[in-house]
A and B are shown apart, each in its own frame.
Chain A
Amino acid sequence: QKEVEQNSGPLSVPEGAIASLNCTYSDRGSQSFFWYRQYSGKSPELIMSIYSNGDKEDGRFTAQLNKASQYVSLLIRDSQPSDSATYLCAVNLEGYGNKLVFGAGTILRVKS
């Protein structure tokens, strides 16, 4: 079992729809969770961080965390073609020396 798992996609949504990206992790002791956006050929960019159970909203982005289910998600409302990218989930794993472990990423395609 991979430590941080994401569906590779691609996830295709129409412009204006809600895109839902999911991530599961293996370490119950994890305390911090991050979502990065990576455009093709570019480096990852941090877009959301979440530390507590529940929802955290920032503009069109909402991160959701459920530690009991070891599940973190990212919702993108009113999806735009410019949101088309690979989204990486990253989890701070205690068993990995308190470093971030990255999922392989989910490709999102927003069609106009």
Chain B
Amino acid sequence: DGGITQSPKYLFRKEGQNVTLSCEQNLNHDAMYWYRQDPGQGLRLIYYSQIVNDFQKGDIAEGYSVSREKKESFPLTVTSAQKNPTAFYLCASSIRTGDYGYTFGSGTRLTVV
């Protein structure tokens, strides 16, 4: 079955530590996105990529980094520069940017300990 796989489901980070969240899709979608969701809040765009080897900052990119070396994969690194990283992180993909709905992965819940 086609879909998006995010791992791990739960992640705990110590202060000053970088962590990487995995996102893999087998839908053959060109575009991929990373969102952050805080309790009771909407989705905020962190980074997006329209094509391999290209990505753009979203609304809240500070403290995060991404790469898009393969069409299927779009990992997100939460760096120590992100001062408030505790949140629910969602990866999504779409055929292309434009008039297409997004398919979401199951999410990674990151907690700073």
Chain A residues within CB distance 8 Å of chain B? 31-32, 34, 42-46, 49, 51, 88, 90, 92, 97-100, 102-105
Partner among B42, B56, B90, B99 whose Cβ is within 8 Å of the Cβ of A32:
B99
Which residue of the partner chain, among A43, A92, A97, A104, contacts B41 with CB atoms under 8 Å?
Answer: A104
Given known A103-B42, A104-B42, A105-B42, contact A46–B102 (CB-CB < 8 A)? yes
Does B48 sit within 8 A of A, measured CB to CB? yes
| B107 on interface, CB distance cutoff 8 Å | yes
The answer on a CB contact under 8 Å between B98 and A92 is yes
Chain B nearest CB: distance from A70 CB in Å?
A: 17
Interface flag for B97 (CB, 8 Å): yes
Q: Which residue of A lies closest to B104 (CB)?
A: A43
Residues in B whose Cβ lies below 8 Å from that of A102: 42-43
Chain A residue contacts of B45, Cβ below 8 A: 99
Chain B residue, CB-CB nearest to A102: B43
Nearest chain A residue, comparing its CB with the CB of B100: A32
Are A100's CB and B102's CB within 8 A? yes
Q: Is B20 on the interface with A (CB-CB < 8 A)?
A: no
Contacts of A34 on B, CB cut-off 8 Å? 101-102
**Assembly CA distance A51 to B99 (angstroms):** 9
Q: Which 9 A-B pairs have the closest CB atoms?
A: A104-B42, A32-B99, A43-B104, A102-B43, A43-B107, A46-B101, A34-B101, A98-B98, A98-B97
Point out the residues of chain B lying under 8 angstroms from A49, CB to CB.
101
**Contact (Cβ within 8 A) B105 A43:** yes
A92–B42 Cα distance when bound, in Å, is 16
